[in-house]
Amino acid sequence: MRTSPRAERPLEHLAAWLNLAPLPVVQVFHGMGAARVVMAGVQLGLFERLADGAKTSAELARPDALEEHAVELILRALEEQGVVRADDVGRFTLRPRAAKWLSPRSPDYVGDFLAFNQAQWDWWGQLHAATKKSAPAFDLHQWAPDDVRWVRYVKAMHQLARFCADEVAAKVRVPQGARRLLDVAGSHGAFSVALRRRHPALSATILELPGAAQVASRLFAADGLTWVEGDALAQPLPACDVALCFQLTGHLDDAQRRTLFTALFAALANGGRVAVLDHYTPDTGRSDGSALVALNYFLVSRTPRLRVGQVREELGAAGFVHLRTHRVLRSLGQTLLVATKPG
């Protein structure tokens, strides 16, 4: 049986703990490799095949004529990360904790999100250049409507939304008699679906850029959902009783957010409710694990860190009242803000 690297090499671990070994090498070299072997496992279909049962690297290599020793090396790296387990005769299995996320048969599969990280990888590779004042934003939301990358993007967002959609829906109090739900930048529509489960009288309009609307309406069509193509910043928004705006504000600059909140206020009926969800920085300014997500927003949209208090103030300035702030446990550090249009 294999033991953990810590148990195999206690003296090296003590040296690392005493800061005698170069930590930046671990952060960069091991961090990069750790990400890429998991991504390779998805791309090569290794996790899918391991989900069928234990296999050797030779068995995994055969169908796609892969180099057996390369597959073995990937699997050994995955073993060190606790993703797979090897038995004494070199057969690998997916560990149950990893299978929950990596087996395509699992309802919690996140392989599409990991595949989308091919695009993110390229953006992060340009981080140093992106810090230059004159550098352009990456083109995430400017892709042509028929760009195939929309498929990965929409599927990736859907996979993450599944974990918190019901929790979020439970925290958005829907006004009595509400019928019209507007999901601004709602992509896949999973949050609208969750809200409709609790409030079947709602019908949802999902306002999206054409590329996302076309992919999502094909992949995630469901009763009570209608996709409308458009730019949320360039038009009056459809009239509604409840409005969602999830993971868009972080891509917008101050003026764009003001435009959006004003348009949401105008679109909502009196007494209507708006819910905004995103990765915001706490008002204390202290680190809470959101710095890398904020940097990701900067890379793709050139926007600065956004404090939760700033968004609360902006919603108040647009006219909203009764602001409530909720943490969302299953969304990896997002904050939900819910507010009401007086009426």
Ligand X SMILES: C[S@@+](CC[C@H](N)C(=O)[O-])C[C@H]1O[C@@H](n2cnc3c(N)ncnc32)[C@H](O)[C@@H]1O
Tokens 């007494």 correspond to: 271
Q: Write the binding mask 83 to 122 for ligand X: x where contact by CB under 6 A, - elsewhere.
A: ----------------------------------------
Q: How far is the CB of 315 from ligand X (least distance, A)?
A: 17
233 binds ligand X (CB under 6 A): yes
- Whole-number Å distance between alpha carbons of 282 and 165: 22
194 binds ligand X (CB under 6 A): no
Q: Which residue type sits at 253?
A: D
47 CB neighbour count, 10 Å cutoff = 24
139 binds ligand X (CB under 6 A): no
Q: Which of 250/272 has CB closer to ligand X?
A: 250
208 binds ligand X (CB under 6 A): yes
Q: Nearest 5°: phi and psi at 268?
A: -75, 145
Out of 161, 169, 178, 264, name the contact with ligand X by CB under 6 A: 161
Residues 6 or more apart in contact with residue 128 via CB below 8 angstroms: none
240 binds ligand X (CB under 6 A): no
Tokens 């070199």 correspond to: 90
Q: Which of 101/246 has CB closer to ligand X?
A: 246
For residues 343 and 270, is the Cβ–Cβ distance under 8 A?
yes
Q: Hey, is 40 helix, strand or coil?
A: helix
Out of 52, 231, 283, 313, name the contact with ligand X by CB under 6 A: 231
Out of 74, 84, 164, 185, name the contact with ligand X by CB under 6 A: 185
209 binds ligand X (CB under 6 A): yes
Q: Which of 331/340 has CB closer to ligand X?
A: 331
* Contact region with ligand X (CB under 6 A), list: 55-63, 92-100, 127-135, 228-236: 228-236
Tokens 């204390």 correspond to: 284
List alpha helices for 106-238, DSSP H: 111-125, 127-130, 149-171, 190-198, 210-219
18 CB neighbour count, 10 Å cutoff = 8
189 binds ligand X (CB under 6 A): no
247 binds ligand X (CB under 6 A): yes
263 binds ligand X (CB under 6 A): no
Q: Containing H/E element for 159?
A: helix 149-171
Q: Write the binding mask 66 to 85 for ligand X: x where contact by CB under 6 A, - elsewhere.
A: --------------------
For residues 92 and 98, is the Cβ–Cβ distance under 8 A?
no
Length of the chain: 343
Which residues in this chain contact ligand X in the complex, by CB under 6 A?
141, 157, 161, 185-187, 207-209, 212, 231-233, 246-248, 251
